[in-house]
Amino acid sequence: MRGQYLLAEGLGVFGGSLAFTALALLLGLGGNPWTLALLAALPFLTLPLDLLAGLLLDRLDRTRLLLLGVYLRGGLLLLLALLPKEPLFLLSLAFLFQAVLALDLPAWHALLVRLARGRLEREGGRLQAAQLLGDSLGDLLAPPLLLLAKPLPFALGGAMLLLEGRLLRDLPPYPPPQEARGEPLGAGALLAGVAFLLWERRLLSLTLYALALNFLGGLALALLPLLALERGVPPALFGLYPLGLSLGGFLGSLLAARVGPGMAVWGGHGARMLGLALLLLPFPFGPLGTLLAGLGGAVSGVHLRAYRQRLAPEALLGRVQAGGVALLSLESLLGTLLAGTLGEDPQRPVGATLLLALFLLPLGLWALGRAAREVGRG
């Protein structure tokens, strides 16, 4: 995995983060809560397109699809810079951006199997670190750029994505296997990746553990702004909480290759639980809590994804990765919705998460051991 590719992906994520953070602030300044709610829901509204992206990645050249998605997203951000800043235009183009973004992560996860099959934890961690670093920088720089000139973060974001495409132009081709090309179209083909994750005996326990982690993550962090304010954070410093998640994820991604899978699961699980517990303490412990929660989630997530990549058949590789993204996002959404039903006390979701997570760790260790045996047989 060349440093040029990591730089390119970091720049692309930086560009998207610039645009979407600026968009959230712009809509927030407009004072309409419905537009903000629609913006927050966009990643979940595109979940069916994740499945379609996986099918395309198993039928067409994965490298070319990745590049096409990068250039299309860059063009959409440039349109955002040029069009009037009306919510209807902004949300429509933001939805198209999210729809095309469905190609990005599954394409990279499939390409890593070709580029670094024997070093998936190391290279997957480096890729995730580059993405998180770009996301953090975009979050920090978007507000001042927007206040300087409204089109600026969108134009700069589009330019970053076009630059990413230029830096990725010499990625090796990755055509789909012959057996995937001859597979008939239909609902079965579209859902084959999800079916593999849920019914394949080698991966089922690992899939259930990953889904439970994402559900608990959504449950614990859905009411984070309320919890932080209740714990005494000055509103001007609330940004330390999401920054802690991003920075923790960055550090955990780099650490993942330096620890074994067992340590990644129980150590990552423990770090996440300790981090969530710190959220219940008064400020300034909260940002340290999000740092540990982000670190633990990244360390275990890199290893869990690597097992999915190794055990997925070549003909299903794109759909398995896209199906994983769709299922994990759905679980995060369900956890978020449950948090909203537990009442106005933001401590309840965190307390429930800590209790459930205690019973979840044995499942994770058992699932990991089983997956390791299957990889060894392969």
Q: List pLDDT tens digits, range 15-69.
A: 998 998 888 778 767 666 566 656 766 777 777 888 888 888 888 888 999 999 9
The Cα–Cα gap between 279 and 291 comes to 10
In the DSSP assignment, the letter for residue 222 is: T
Model pTM score: 0.76
* 376 pLDDT higher than 60: no
Domain 189-377 has CATH 1.25.40.10: no
Same fold, 3-166 and 189-377: yes
Average pLDDT over residues 313-320: 82
Residue-wise pLDDT tens digits, 347-369: 888 888 898 888 887 776 676 66
Min mean pLDDT across 10-19, 91-100, 137-146, 171-180 is at 171-180
What number of CA atoms fall less than 13 Å from residue 147's CA on the CB side?
A: 6
What number of CA atoms fall less than 13 Å from residue 78's CA on the CB side?
A: 12
* 188 pLDDT higher than 80: no
Average pLDDT over residues 128-142: 87
Which position has the token pair 């997957």?
124
- Check residue 184 and give its pLDDT: 63
The Cα–Cα gap between 324 and 211 comes to 9
- Check residue 289 and give its pLDDT: 93
Averaged pLDDT score across all residues of the chain: 84
* 118 pLDDT higher than 90: no
Domain range annotation of the chain: 3-166, 189-377
* 8 pLDDT higher than 90: yes
- Check residue 34 and give its pLDDT: 65
Architecture of the domain made up of 3-166: Up-down Bundle (1.20)
The Cα–Cα gap between 184 and 166 comes to 35
Phi, psi torsion values for 169, nearest 5 degrees = -65, -20
Give the residue, 320 or 15, on which the prediction is more confident.
15
Which residues, including other chains, have CB under 8 Å from residue 160's CB and lie 6 or more apart? 11, 12, 14, 15, 18, 74
